[in-house]
Amino acid sequence: MRFVLLFLLLLGCEPEFSLPIEAEAGGVLLASWTHDGAMLSVGGKMDGSAGLLVRADDEGWCKDTGISDRPLWWIHGSAERWFAVGQDGLILRSEGGTITDESVATDLTFFGVWDEGDRVWAVGGTPRATQPRGELWLREGGTWALFSDDFPSTLFKVWEDVVVGRGGAWRISSGDVVEMSPPDEPNLLTVRGRGDELFAVGGNTAPQLWQHGGSWSAVDIDPYCANLPLNGVWTGEGEDVWIAGQFGAVGGWDGETWTCPERSMTQDDFHAAWKWDDAIWFVGGNLSSASDSHFSIARYGEGEVELDMQECP
């Protein structure tokens, strides 16, 4: 039986934060992306035993707990295809409705991927190793190969030609990797662009949001939105900047003021933010637990939403 999504739209109501899904079994959710009008969110079990894909479209919501045999950390693609990457060199390519395993032989975890058409970039590292390393991989001509490992530690995300990780940020330029880190080389987990601006989030003990429009500047974060390190950021042309972080941290910044929940919605961590169906969605789960992986989904938008999560056929 197909899944059902019920939208109870309240005309004239103000947007608000809500938690439509809390502690759903199957693994945590770590990233989202839109493909063919559907929102795809990927993740998996933190013990490394399985991957997870959640699909939302006009017909409803479903979860696929058999998408892979280990967690997926990020997803990105074009109109024709998408790539999802994860633990132990895991790379999946979906094209024409067929998923192909393009994993590479490495012990690193890919935490980010960017599909620019002719070339696809994947970044990752070994954060728990005695001597952590960061690596940037390139898919060109249908073949994956190591592009650079000249980084101080693990890389976490790539956006167009910008890479972020532990120790700062770098730009891929004319076949070289050029450092462009903010002051004090912070721990950055996610980066996203908007026109000529970049926004990067992270932190070690406190939340950090950095804005780059020729140079880096730190953005003050309302403590009602977040007071611990951040994991995800989303924005777009004409859009606010939305953040996701530890212990239910979510919020939006319009360049001057913050929009925050009145109170924390969950003790779960949110790992990514994404806009779909005229709302902002925050995905995550109990990221710190390997024994009981579950996911939670928050929303900022108009009207009430009731989600009926089913198993994907």
> Rounded distance, CA 247 to CA 302, Å?
24
- Work out whether the CA dihedral 185, 189, 194, 195 comes out positive or negative: positive
Q: Is the pLDDT of residue 23 over 60?
A: yes
- In this predicted model, what pLDDT tens digit does every residue of 252-273 receive, in sequence order? 999 999 999 999 999 999 999 9
Instruction: Tell me the average pLDDT across 7-28.
Output: 81
Domains of the chain: 5-311 (2.130.10.10)
Q: What is the pLDDT of residue 109?
A: 98
Q: What is the pLDDT of residue 175?
A: 87
Q: What is the pLDDT of residue 9?
A: 42
Confidence class for position 11, pLDDT limits 50, 70, 90: very low
Q: Which helix (H) or strand (E) holds 35?
A: strand 28-35
Share of the chain above pLDDT 70, in %: 96
Q: What is the pLDDT of residue 13?
A: 75
Q: Is the pLDDT of residue 188 over 60?
A: yes
C-alpha dist (Å) from residue 42 to 7, 81, 86, 130, 295? 23, 15, 10, 28, 11
Q: In this structure, are residues 313 and 307 in contact, taking their beta carbons and an 8 Å threshold?
A: no
Q: Is the pLDDT of residue 8 over 60?
A: no
Q: In this structure, are residues 228 and 269 in contact, taking their beta carbons and an 8 Å threshold?
A: no
Q: In this structure, are residues 295 and 14 in contact, taking their beta carbons and an 8 Å threshold?
A: no
Centroid of chain to Cα 184:
24
The pairing of strands 309-311 and 60-64 is parallel
Q: What residues are paired with 199 via a beta bridge?
A: 192, 211
- In this predicted model, what pLDDT tens digit does every residue of 132-159 receive, in sequence order? 999 999 999 999 999 999 999 999 999 9
Q: What share of the chain is helix, strand, coil (3-state, %, to 5)?
A: 0, 55, 40
Q: What is the pLDDT of residue 10?
A: 41
**pTM of the predicted model as reported, rounded to 2 decimal places:** 0.95
Q: What is the pLDDT of residue 79?
A: 86
Instruction: Tell me the average pLDDT across 215-225.
Output: 98
Instruction: Tell me the average pLDDT across 182-211.
Output: 97
Question: Which has more confidence, 291 or 237?
Answer: 237
> Rounded distance, CA 112 to CA 189, Å?
10
Q: What is the pLDDT of residue 142?
A: 96
Q: Which residue is listed with tokens 């995300």?
A: 157
Instruction: Tell me the average pLDDT across 109-130.
Output: 95
> Rounded distance, CA 34 to CA 198, Å?
21
Instruction: Tell me the average pLDDT across 63-79.
Output: 96
